[in-house]
Structures are given as C-alpha cells and as structure tokens.
C-alpha cells in the first residue's frame, strides 16, 4: 500500500495537477505526515563465515565457544519478532574453513543461510575454492540472491546465476543492494575463477550506486563488498571505495576479517556519509544497523553529519 502511495505521489508531481493530487493522496499519506511517522529498516549482516556451522570447539583456542549457526538463527528470529523490516545480508566467503566444506562442498552452508532467511550475499574469493562450477553446483541450495556488479561472468557457468544488484521493498522504502568483489588474480588459482573478468570496483560501484539512488530512486543504497576494510598499500579497500564514490549509504565489508569496534563513517565524494562495517569472521558476531526515515524533503546539512548516529539501539 505504501509503495503504491509513493508511486502515485511521484506520478502526480510529474502531472502537476491539483485534482490528480486530490485523487492520489489517500488517507495513509495524511497519516504519515500528520503523525510524522518514521519508517525503520533493520539491516543484519555477517561476513567471512567460512563454513563455521558449529561454534568454535572448546579447545583453548582464541575463539573457543564463539559463533554457531543455531545461535545466530535464534538471535535473528528474536530480532525479526521485534522488528518489522529486516534485511539479512552477507559479504561473501561463505565457503571454506571447516571440514563441512571439504566434505559437502558448501551445500550445508547455503541450506542454513536459506533457513535463516538471508536476502543476499556477494562472492568472496574463497567462494571460488571449488571452482566456478563448484559454486554453481551448490546454488540450488540457496534461496537468496548472489549479487556481484564488478565480475563479468558471462563466459562462465555462473552466467545469469548472479545479479549486479537487487532492489528490496520494505515499508514503502526501496533499498538497493549491490555486490563488489576483490581482484581474483594472485588471490585465487586461475583454474578456479576461469573466465571471470574483474572490473574496476570504484567505477562500477559509482555507476551502480548512482543507478540505484538516482534512476531507481532507492532510499537506501547498500554495497556488499569483499574488497577488505583497509590496506597499508594503495590497494582498493572499503575505505578507498567509500571516499571515492557517492550515493552509497552503507558498505558491509568482508575479506580482511576485521573486527571494527564501531562502524566507521566516511565522508564520501558527495559530502554525505558512507558507513563501513565489518564484524570479524566465522559468525562470531552479527552486525546490526538500523535506519530511520522520514518521508519528504532531504534535510539541509546543518551539522557535520546529516543524520543522527548512535552506537546503541533505541529502547523499545
């Protein structure tokens, strides 16, 4: 209903007629304005889960007892029970790291992610570990999207199995999500990535984010990135990506297994905020970013940040 309402409103603005406005503006839109009702989207995310089906064993190792899909699923269910509009996303490297992958080839990882209701992931370098065909073979177990905008896969088995982006509609809001992958040459055995063509992540990210925000009028644009959080050298990273692009609100990162104390907010090329987050690896943590929206005009920049940021949740 809210989606319909917004479309109608846009049509009206184009038409510019008062009578069509009277027709288009239904009771719902009055309510939204009158009460100043906020829309809220909850983004949950993981990265580099690396086949960690069960918690790390209690063997004195650094991460003993942490992680585990059964707990992650319970937590996600609890959050879904409290929040209406949840998107569950992953930033790649689902495969490799425990014998579950060696024995079953990733089938179980994708089955469990499907059961948890993941909406999308991107391709990490280790997702190529059994070759393009090895990933393709397991795709029937995934009921979520694999998003990758900067790999040209048309000469591979994955042709038409992935999408550059997807627009999710929640509470009348449009959330554009796209994927960006790392340079595979030097990182993945050439026999495993085959004819995959790597395209410039910054150019592709900029073009895709602009398409989503300007052409498709997305209210929120999220990049699932497997580039890595930051590097000492001048290698493209999430920090570089954030500062060299505009129209991306949130980068959900991976690859470097970085445990960020809090998400990092970078001023992007458009002078807006691009937030980077990454939550370690192996499903030790689940990240959460809530966005609150107000319908209508974008606020003028008054402070250094155009919206309020808290590293805590509102008490419900």
Partner 1 sequence: MGMIRLWIFILTATFLSSCSTQYAITKSNREEYSINDKIEVDSAIVRTYLPYKQKLDQEMTKVIGHTSVLLTKTSEFPESVLGNFFADAVFNQAKKLEPTIDFVFPTTKGGLRNDISKGPITVSGVFELMPFENQLVLFKLKGSDVLIILNYIALTNGQPVAGLRMNIKDKTPENIYINGKPFDVNQTYMVLTSDYIGNGGDDAKGFANPISRKNIGLLVRDALLKEVAELEFAGKKIEAKTDGRITKN
Name the one range near partner 1 by CB under 8 A: 67-75, 81-89, 139-147, 193-201: 67-75
Among 10, 37, 154, 267, binds partner 1 (CB under 8 A): 10
Q: How far apart are CA 132 and CA 157, in angstroms?
A: 6
For residue 246, CA distances in Å to 123, 250, 295 come to 22, 11, 21
SS3 category, 33: helix
Among 5, 245, 258, 275, binds partner 1 (CB under 8 A): 275
Minimum CB distance to partner 1, residue 200 (Å): 19
Name the one range near partner 1 by CB under 8 A: 5-13, 160-168, 198-206, 236-244: 5-13
Contact between 60 and partner 1 per CB under 8 A: yes
Contact between 263 and partner 1 per CB under 8 A: yes
Contacts of partner 1 in 101-120 (CB under 8 A): 101-104, 108, 111-112, 115-116
The residues, ordered by sequence, that sit 6+ positions from 79 with a Cβ below 8 Å of its Cβ are: 42, 44, 86, 288
If you ran DSSP here, which 8-state letter would residue 125 be given?
G
**Residues 173, 214, 88, 241, CA torsion sign:** negative
Contact between 311 and partner 1 per CB under 8 A: yes
Contact between 284 and partner 1 per CB under 8 A: yes
Minimum CB distance to partner 1, residue 270 (Å): 14
Contact between 88 and partner 1 per CB under 8 A: no
Name the one range near partner 1 by CB under 8 A: 59-67, 84-92, 141-149, 155-163: 59-67
Among 99, 234, 271, 303, binds partner 1 (CB under 8 A): 99
Q: Torsion over CA of 80, 81, 82 and 87, rounded to 10 degrees? A: 10
Of residues 222, 279, 271, 288, the one with CA closest to residue 255: 279
Contact between 299 and partner 1 per CB under 8 A: yes
If you ran DSSP here, which 8-state letter would residue 300 be given?
P
Other residues' Cβ atoms within 10 Å of the Cβ of residue 129: 21
Name the one range near partner 1 by CB under 8 A: 151-159, 204-212, 224-232, 288-296: 288-296
Binding characters for partner 1, 210-249, by CB under 8 A (x = yes): -------xxxx----------------------------x
Both tokens assigned to 255:
């690859």
For residue 251, CA distances in Å to 12, 89, 165, 224 come to 34, 11, 14, 6
Minimum CB distance to partner 1, residue 57 (Å): 8
Angle at 47 between CA 64 and CA 68, to 5 degrees: 35
Contacts of partner 1 in 131-170 (CB under 8 A): none
Minimum CB distance to partner 1, residue 160 (Å): 28
Among 88, 92, 100, 150, binds partner 1 (CB under 8 A): 100
The residues, ordered by sequence, that sit 6+ positions from 248 with a Cβ below 8 Å of its Cβ are: 205, 209, 221, 222, 223, 241, 242, 268, 274
């Amino acid at each position: 209903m809210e989606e319909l309402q917004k479309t109608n409103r846009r049509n009206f603005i184009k038409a510019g007629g008062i009578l069509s406005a009277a027709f288009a503006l239904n009771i719902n839109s009055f309510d939204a304005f009158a009460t100043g009702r906020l829309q809220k989207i909850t983004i949950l995310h993981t990265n580099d889960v690396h086949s960690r089906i069960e918690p790390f064993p209690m063997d004195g190792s650094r991460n003993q007892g942490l992680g585990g899909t059964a707990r992650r699923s319970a937590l996600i269910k609890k959050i879904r029970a409290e929040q209406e509009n949840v998107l569950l996303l992953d930033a790649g490297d689902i495969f490799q790291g425990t014998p579950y992958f060696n024995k079953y080839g990733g089938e179980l990882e994708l089955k469990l992610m499907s059961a948890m209701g993941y909406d999308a992931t991107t391709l990490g370098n280790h997702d190529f570990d059994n070759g393009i065909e090895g990933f393709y073979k397991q795709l029937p177990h995934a009921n979520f999207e694999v998003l990758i905008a900067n790999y040209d896969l048309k000469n591979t088995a994955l042709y038409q199995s992935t999408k550059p982006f997807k627009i999710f509609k929640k509470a009348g809001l449009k959330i554009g999500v796209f994927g960006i992958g790392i340079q595979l040459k030097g990182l993945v055995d050439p026999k495993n990535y085959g004819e995959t063509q790597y395209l410039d992540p910054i150019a592709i990210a900029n073009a895709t984010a602009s398409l989503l925000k300007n052409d498709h009028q997305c209210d929120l644009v999220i990049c699932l990135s497997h580039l890595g959080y930051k590097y000492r050298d001048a290698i493209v990273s999430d920090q570089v990506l954030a500062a060299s692009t505009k129209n991306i609100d949130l980068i959900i990162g991976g690859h470097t297994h970085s445990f960020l104390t809090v998400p990092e907010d970078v001023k992007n090329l458009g002078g807006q905020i691009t937030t980077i987050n990454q939550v370690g690896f192996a499903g030790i943590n689940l990240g959460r970013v809530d966005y609150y929206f107000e319908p209508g005009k974008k606020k003028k920049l008054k402070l250094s940040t155009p919206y309020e940021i808290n590293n805590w949740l509102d008490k419900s």
